[in-house]
Structure 1
Amino acid sequence: MRDILATLKREHDQLRDLHRQLSATPDEQDELRKDLLNRIEAVLIPHAKWEELKFYPAFNDRANHEQQLLFAKAMQEHRVVEKAVLPDLHAADIEGRQFAGSAAVLEELIVHHAKEEETQMFTAARKMFSPQELAEMDEQYADWKDSALAGALEMHAQVKTAAKAMLRSPSSPG
């Protein structure tokens, strides 16, 4: 049977693997770094946006006080990545230490966030939602990823990141 929690965990595993690869790239392998960053964002952005729009609100609706704090923390962690870490990563010289440092911070945040989701939020969600509901969410997520809305949200996130990166780049005016 399909299961959204298993799907989200698989994507966490993909992200952990891609981050390990990115961390292992020497500074001078800029094309490989660019490719890995693109692959990370191709998994991360739809995953995060769907969680923010669908999974987290459904979780929060059924959550107790402690679980609502998990929800609030997860949303803030998403904001940190979207509004600070990704723009800093894109602003950095891909061959430099700033890029490597920003990539390491992104990896730490994602690994921490995924572990917390898997050990706390997903455990609670297994009790909140029936197997049928988890299967339905998984189908909805698969359909959503192929939708125009998902594409538009992904493009919007990339444009916002690029704009913020331009403002943070040492070579930009200002």
Structure 2
Amino acid sequence: MDAITLLKNDHDAVEKLLEELAQSTPRAVKKRTELLEKIRVELKAHTTIEEEIFYPAFKASGNQSDDDKMYFEALEEHRAAGDLVLPDLLATPVGNEKFSGRAKVLKELVTHHADEEEKEMFPRAKKLLDKATLASLGEKMAMRKAELVKQLKSDRG
């Protein structure tokens, strides 16, 4: 699977989990807790493989100021979601009335970020990186993601 397909599949999976979380009620404590843990693992693994493997390859092959802008904006969106909003949500009791609002903000951030990548960065990456490179990146990312997911799950387990 090439890098872009892998990342799009991740986007779809996380957006589905976030939608399920948004549809849940404060009384669904067990469901919210399980969904939140899945979201934590998926988001952390996804952002890590992007930052360690995909973004550096994109930046290295880029040759326009727009490429640099996309790269730095994507990193800042990861920081906003992963370092600010997600930890805040994880620290909020799932039955608390603030939980739904915080979950919605995370969903909106992730959706916006995924849309931008899919409409701007990925088409540009397809022009900058050939199929063989995208396939090679995809393999590296899949292996690293499997490693991260295992590690992240054991961190909580």
Same fold (TM over 0.5): yes
Indicate whether 1:95 and 2:95 are aligned.
yes
Computing the radius of gyration from Cα coordinates, the structure with the larger value is: 1
- TM-score, length basis structure 2: 0.91
Moved over 2 A (4+): 150-155
Secondary structure at the aligned position of 2:140 is classed as: helix
Indicate whether 1:115 and 2:107 are aligned.
no
Amino acid corresponding to residue 120 of structure 2 in structure 1: Q
- TM-score, length basis structure 1: 0.83
Contact 2:77 2:109 in 1 (8 A): yes
Deviation (angstroms), 1:83? 1.6
Q: Percent identity?
A: 34
Amino acid corresponding to residue 131 of structure 1 in structure 2: K
Secondary structure at the aligned position of 1:28 is classed as: coil
Counterpart position of 2:28:
29
Contact 2:36 2:90 in 1 (8 A): no
Secondary structure at the aligned position of 2:27 is classed as: coil
Indicate whether 1:142 and 2:148 are aligned.
no
The alignment covers a number of residue pairs equal to 154
Counterpart CA distance in 1 for 2:101 and 2:25 is 13
Counterpart CA distance in 2 for 1:15 and 1:51 is 15
Counterpart position of 1:51:
50
The gaps in structure 2 that reach 5 residues or longer are: none
- Residue pairs, 1:1-174, within 5 angstroms: 2-63=1-62, 64-147=64-147, 150=148, 154=152
Secondary structure at the aligned position of 2:25 is classed as: coil
Deviation (angstroms), 1:56? 0.7
What CA RMSD, in Å, does the superposition of the two structures yield over aligned residues? 1.7
Counterpart CA distance in 1 for 2:93 and 2:146 is 33
Contact 2:58 2:125 in 1 (8 A): yes
Higher relative contact order (CA 8 A, sep 6+): 2
